[in-house]
Amino acid sequence: MAKGKRMSVDEQLKRWVDGESVHNSTRDECTPDFSCCKPQLLAPKEIRMKFLNANQAERSAMLAGFLGVLLRGHSCEVVS
Ligand SMILES: [Zn+2]
């Protein structure tokens, strides 16, 4: 399965931190804040950086925050 461009999660994350939200069509996964599909949900850069450097537990907590934002339909209330 080496056809076309496959994107790793790491690459998706890096591009997201750089401000380019891309839906990972290889794995059918959104960026952590879902901004690839809902641009208005794009998290502030500092939050994105924080996510990149977070450990697994912190990432899970942040993902839950992003998900809450998605469900409420508001932006910029993520994480304390
Ligand atoms: Zn998406």
Give 33: exposed, middle or buried? Use CB within 10 Å, 0-12, 13-18, 19+.
buried
The mean-pLDDT minimum among 20-24, 29-33, 56-60, 69-73 falls in 69-73
Tokens of 16: 């997201």
- 80 has pLDDT over 50: no
* Cα distances (Å, whole numbers) of residue 51 to 4, 48, 57, 66, 80: 28, 5, 11, 11, 13
Q: What is the pLDDT of residues 22-48, one digit of tens each?
A: 999 989 999 999 999 999 999 999 999
pLDDT for 4 equals 53
More confident residue, 77 or 64: 64
Please tell me the distance between residue 55's alpha carbon and the centre of ligand 1 in angstroms: 22
- pTM for the model stands at 0.80
Please tell me the distance between residue 24's alpha carbon and the centre of ligand 1 in angstroms: 7
